[in-house]
Chain A
Amino acid sequence: MPRYALLALAAFLTLAAPAAAEDKPTLTIYTYDAFAADYGPGPGLKAGFEKTCGCTVNFVGTDSSIGALRRVQLEGASSKADIVLGLDTSLSGEARATGLFAPHGLTPAHLTLPSAWTDPDFVPVDFGYFAFVYDTNRVHTPPTSFEALAAEPPSFKIALEDPRSDTPGLGLVLWIKAAYGDKAPAIWAALKPHIVTMARSWSDAYGLFLKGDADMALSYTTSPAYHEIAENKPNYAYATFSEGHYPQIEIAGLLKSSPHAELARQFLAWLDTQPAQAIIPTTNWMYPAADIGGALPKQFPAPPQKVLGLDEGTITENKSAWIEEALAAIR
């Protein structure tokens, strides 16, 4: 019964909606909600691309980037999506393995990523480095490594994200793994007394930190720039870790099933040019993937001296085991 009711109402809604009379093609991009929302880069990118493409850009925001991928997987070949945007390099192997993405055939130029970009299926959107952010008014000598953090008194607290529900949480698992390899569980166990919580999402953990219930939160090296630019508060900084920092590169890929493959390819090409990338820093608070020269706000910090990395295949193969290993160490 509810199904028929749904059908009837949908029919009503369709009749009520004005017919999309224009012949312009619609480029449909699945992404995470924050990217598509008013505060995010979505509206700016839409306006920018529509100026030249003779098309309508439709950002469809699901609750998370992984949700966008799952939706495409569930829809399969019948998906209306042309592009999935917002996955990151810790999920790219899995996304590739779905076989849903087509090679983009592009060679984005003037990239500013931590390493050369050779991915045939995905183009970079923006990137950041995971880091622990602190308030310089409260913490005067931040720890300089995971080991130093572990050696802090137990009253020194950090707010983390659950790796099963949030990408920065997964990022920390990879970060510690990249830095310590087989010794990762020992580091996790040593961190345990400091973990105030593993929140469901970045915003919960960061909120806990802003309220003062944690001395540091797992976030990005670019987070302090937000406070300085948007709130005029220069008292936030990130702790430089001597092990190095782990990058998160957000990516976009073209779907094989895309009905507008050429248009989608044009969008991906445009995405890595200066006009598009200049929108990123103050809407997504990440580094642009390509050089935007003086358009990068000066409050954005220089990249960390040492950058870590893991091989995509190894991540895809071991992700679940590493998460389990980290959780077991602090259970």
Chain B
Amino acid sequence: MLRSADLGRPERPFRLLAGTAFAAAIGLLIVALFWAILSAARARAGGEVHLDVGYVLYITTLQAGLSTALSLAVGIALAWALNRLRFPGREVVVGLFASAIVTPGLVVAFGLIDVWGRAGWLGGLGVPIFGLGGVVGAHLVLDGAFAARILLGRLDAIPEARLKTGQSLGLNAWRRFGVIDWPAIRGSLPGLAAIIFLLAFTSFPIVLLLGGGPSVPTLEVAIYSAVRLDFDLNAAVTLALIQIGLCAVIIVASSALAPVATSVARSGQPRWQDAGAARAAQWIVLAFALFGFGAPLAAVIADGAVSVPDVLAESSFWSSMCTSLWIALGSSVLSLIVALAVAAASAAAPGRALRTLVAVPAYAYLAVPAVALSLGAFLLVRDSGLQPETTAPLVVVLANALLALPFAVATLGPPFEAIARSRGRLIRALSLGGVRQFTLIEWPLVARDAGLAFALSFCFSLGDLGVIALFGTQNFATLPLQMVRALGAYRSHEAAAIAALMLVLTIGAFVAIPKLFGRLGDAGA
């Protein structure tokens, strides 16, 4: 049954077709990956799983659930504080927060150890950072700040008119949150929750580094071990399917909840500040967040600063930076295009089921175990008769685009949905075509969000290198690979310097890219 909100939507068969085609392509690629692994597995015996799957799932779900709930709570509080407060350097602070999620998890984990570890800045406090608490803490730093950045975007987009009305009604700070803010961020929460849950669920190096031993297990390490140590591909596929099945439940549930209409508008500077206790609470939230999120990242930069000149003097650093930048550029362009198509199609879809169907595959890559992804990609490339060494860069671009896609779709989905709901009738009345709908109405409104999505994909790609494990990589070095190599060769100072430089690059991209897109949007308006 169509609801009234669906009736006002302009018919956009082409958008639906394009979005569905992308969704289908993504789905097919996953099927192809698993098909490739399964056909390689068929030649081998094995398939028994030596693993207490129930226990692993219980702990992993607990860990991921805690990480998600805490990250969202902290993200909402921080977005609320940042939306109200104005201070010098605010943009850099926002960029810093957002960059946590795209910084390689291990770098952030080591930053946490710099602060809270036994020999860290606050080591004297004796905060236990190893064990379940440490894992959840690290995920909170990575994902809480990310949630805040996305939600801040929603809050900053609340129309001025609504704020003025609220102000004239004399809403107090708490009622204001309930009446104006909550409806604006509600739509983004399910998508965010799904992403954070999946990231925490599939987290592998962080869990091993901070988990304190095998009492905090993860399905990913069992899958890794099945693929690598035992070479039992049947068992690996079984475990991977368990993981995907469980994650799929989360994804489908969350996208069935989403999207709730949120407002989109380019608001001016909201000058309506809260007063009294609320304002004090906002400063306190900001102070805690700055410390909690900022200190580990600052530690990474402080740690690496000494060796930065040495690293900058090496030509290998510059060539790997160039490689990283073009890979990031390629994958973020691809990711943005697909995300725009999926978000537009999902918003144009008549009815909830179709909407879910179009959006769900975008999240799928977060559920696929990294080792299965890299094995499947290697097999697919080989089965196609291609040389792994030559195709490695292409595979990285494609994989990074797909890995960043959930972030981009979660960022762009809600605004597109909001436009369809609030401007749908207007667009119909003006009989605008799809292209003019995009250039005249949508682009000016989503440009900033598109910038955020682009920045997320760009930085995500900058920090990631998981997929080409088997491809052969000596002529193809990216910054994270260079960092891992330095670490593996005892050169921890160089690794620290590369980590610091990557972090600065990421923060810079996060400040600059959304601004650039904002300008582009203004120019189009």
Instruction: Write out the residue numbers on chain A whose beta carbons fall within 8 Å of the beta carbon of B495.
Output: 207
Q: CB-CB contacts of A1-36 with B at 8 A, as 1s and 0s?
A: 111001101100110010000000000001001101
* B433 CB-CB contact with A under 8 Å: no
Among B106, B387, B472, which residue has its beta carbon within 8 angstroms of that of A61?
Answer: B472
Residues of chain B in range 261-308 having any CB-CB distance to chain A below 8 Å = none
Over the window 41-64 of chain B, the binary record of Cβ atoms lying under 8 Å from chain A Cβ atoms (1 yes, 0 no) is: 000000000100000000000000
Q: Distance in Å from the Cβ of B227 to the closest Cβ of chain A? A: 8
Closest partner residue, chain A, to B106 (CB atom): A204
Determine the residue in chain B with the shortest Cβ distance to A211.
B113
Q: Is the CB of A200 within 8 A of B113?
A: no
B390 touches A17 (CB 8 A): yes
Query: Does any Cβ of A come within 8 Å of B161's Cβ?
Result: no
Q: Is the CB of A199 within 8 A of B384?
A: no
Interface check A230, CB cutoff 8 A? yes
A residues within 8 A CB of B215? Answer: 330-331
Chain A min CB distance to B228 (Å): 5
Residues of A within 8 A of B378 (CB): 71, 74
Q: Which of B457-511 contact A (CB under 8 A)?
A: 469-474, 481, 484-492, 495
B40 on the interface (CB 8 Å rule)? yes
> How far, in whole Å, are A6 and B36 apart by their CA atoms in the complex?
16
Are the C-beta atoms of B485 and A33 separated by less than 8 Å? Answer: yes
* Interface flag for B439 (CB, 8 Å): no
Q: Let me know if A324 is at the binding interface, CB within 8 A.
A: yes
Interface segment out of the listed A62-70, A100-108, A141-149, A256-264? A62-70
A200 and B398 alpha carbons, distance in the complex (Å): 26
Q: Verify B213–A33 contact, CB threshold 8 A.
A: no
CB neighbours of A211 from chain B (8 A) = 110, 113-114, 117, 119-120
Distance between Cα atoms of A327 and B474 in the complex (Å): 35
Decide: A164 and B229 in contact? CB cutoff 8 A. yes
In the complex the two chains form, what is the Cα distance from A17 to B389 in whole Å? 12
- List chain A residues, Cβ under 8 A from B110: 207, 211
Decide: B473 and A33 in contact? CB cutoff 8 A.
yes
A207 and B487 contact, CB distance less than 8 A: yes
Chain-A contact segment, one of B4-12, B24-32, B247-255, B342-350: B24-32
Contact indicator B28/A165 (Cβ below 8 Å): no
Q: Are A34 and B214 CB-contacts (below 8 A) given A10-B391, A200-B209?
A: no
User: Quick one: which of A42, A60, A164, A207 contacts B472, CB cutoff 8 A?
Assistant: A60
Nearest CB in chain B: distance from A228 CB, A: 12
Q: Report Cα–Cα, A324/B225, bound state, in Å.
A: 12
Please determine whether B470 and A39 come into contact, CB atoms closer than 8 angstroms: no
Interface of B is mostly: helix
A285 and B224: CB pair below 8 A?
no
Whether B469 contacts A67 by the Cβ 8 Å rule is yes
Which of chain A's residues 189-210 have a Cβ closer than 8 Å to chain B?
A: 192, 195-204, 206-208, 210
Query: Does A272 lie at the interface of the complex (its beta carbon under 8 Å from any beta carbon of B)?
Result: no
| Chain B residues positioned under 8 Å from A223 (CB to CB) | 490
A212 within 8 A of B: yes
Q: Once bound together, how far apart are the Cα atoms of A230 and B486, in whole Å?
A: 13
Cα A204 to Cα B387 in complex, Å, equals 32
Give the Cβ gap from A321 to chain B, nearest Cβ, in Å: 9
A136 at the interface (CB under 8 A from B): no
Q: Determine if A37 is an interface residue (Cβ-Cβ < 8 Å).
A: yes
Bound-complex Cα distance A213 to B112 (A) = 12
The answer to whether B469 touches A320 (Cβ under 8 A) is no
State the Cβ distance, A285 to closest chain B Cβ, in Å. Answer: 7
Report whether A207 and B384 are in contact in the complex, using a CB–CB cutoff of 8 Å.
no
Q: Is the CB of B515 closer than 8 A to any CB of chain A? A: no
| Cα–Cα distance between A40 and B227 once the two chains are bound (Å) | 26
A168–chain B nearest beta-carbon distance, Å: 12
Q: Which residues 364-382 of B have a CB within 8 angstroms of A?
A: 378-382
- Quote the shortest CB–CB distance from B341 to chain A (angstroms): 14
Q: In the complex the two chains form, what is the Cα distance from A62 to B487 in whole Å?
A: 16
Contact of A70 among B221, B231, B391 (CB under 8 A): B231
CA distance A7 to B32 in the complex (A): 15
Residues of A within 8 A of B490 (CB): 206, 223, 226-227, 230, 285
Q: Confirm or deny: B522 has a beta carbon within 8 angstroms of a beta carbon on chain A.
A: no
| Residues of B in contact, count (CB < 8 Å) | 66
| Contact-residue bracket for chain A | 35 or more
Q: Are A165 and B208 in contact (CB under 8 A)?
A: yes
Q: Which residues in A have their C-beta under 8 angstroms from that of B391? A: 6, 9-10, 13
Least distance between B48 CB and chain A CB atoms (Å): 11
A150 → B minimal CB distance (Å): 15
B316 within 8 A of A: yes
- Residues in B with CB closer than 8 Å to A36 are 474
Considering the chains assembled together, what is the distance between the CA atoms of A60 and B392 in angstroms?
A: 12
Q: Which residues of B contact A198 (CB under 8 A)?
A: 208, 211, 213-214
Within 8 A of A (CB), among B356-409: 378-382, 384, 386-387, 389-391, 394-395, 398
Interface 0/1 of B199-230, CB less than 8 Å to A = 00000110011111111000001101101111
Q: Mark A27-61, 1 if CB is under 8 A from B, else 0.
A: 00010011011111010000000000000000111
Give chain B nearest CB distance to A94 CB in angstroms. Answer: 8
B104-125 near A? 1/0 per residue, CB < 8 Å: 0010001001100111100000
Contact A74 B214 (CB under 8 A): no
B130 within 8 A of A: yes
Q: Which of A10, A33, A204, A213 contacts B205 (CB 8 A)?
A: A204
Knowing A70-B228, A165-B228, A207-B487, the reply to whether A62 touches B205 (Cβ < 8 A) is no
Whether A1 contacts B28 by the Cβ 8 Å rule is: yes
A162 at the interface (CB under 8 A from B): yes
B214 and A7 form a contact (CB under 8 A): no
Q: Which residues on the B side are within 8 Å of A266 (C-beta)?
A: none
| A152 lies within 8 A of chain B by Cβ | no
Q: Does A119 contact B (CB under 8 A)?
A: no
Task: Judge whether B211 and A197 touch: CB under 8 Å.
Answer: yes
Contact B489 A70 (CB under 8 A): no
Given A3-B32, A204-B209: A212 in contact with B474 (beta carbons within 8 A): no
Residues of B with C-beta under 8 A to A299: none
User: Which residues of chain B are within 8 angstroms of A235 by Cβ–Cβ distance?
Assistant: none
Subset of 18 A-B contacts with CB under 8 Å:
A2-B28, A6-B380, A6-B384, A33-B484, A42-B474, A62-B471, A62-B472, A70-B231, A70-B470, A74-B382, A75-B382, A164-B225, A164-B229, A165-B224, A197-B212, A204-B487, A211-B114, A211-B119
Instruction: A170-B229, A197-B130 given; name 18 further pairs at CB < 8 Å.
Output: A6-B386, A33-B473, A34-B489, A36-B474, A39-B491, A40-B489, A60-B472, A61-B473, A61-B474, A62-B473, A63-B470, A66-B228, A67-B228, A165-B225, A198-B211, A207-B110, A207-B492, A212-B118
Residues of B near any A CB (own CB < 8 A):
25, 28-29, 32, 40, 50, 106, 110, 113-114, 117-120, 130, 204-205, 208-215, 221-222, 224-225, 227-231, 316, 378-382, 384, 386-387, 389-391, 394-395, 398, 469-474, 481, 484-492, 495
Interface of A toward B, CB cutoff 8 Å: 1-3, 6-7, 9-10, 13-14, 17, 30, 33-34, 36-40, 42, 59-64, 66-67, 70-71, 73-75, 157, 162, 164-165, 170, 192, 195-204, 206-208, 210-213, 223, 226-227, 230, 285, 319-320, 323-324, 327, 330-331
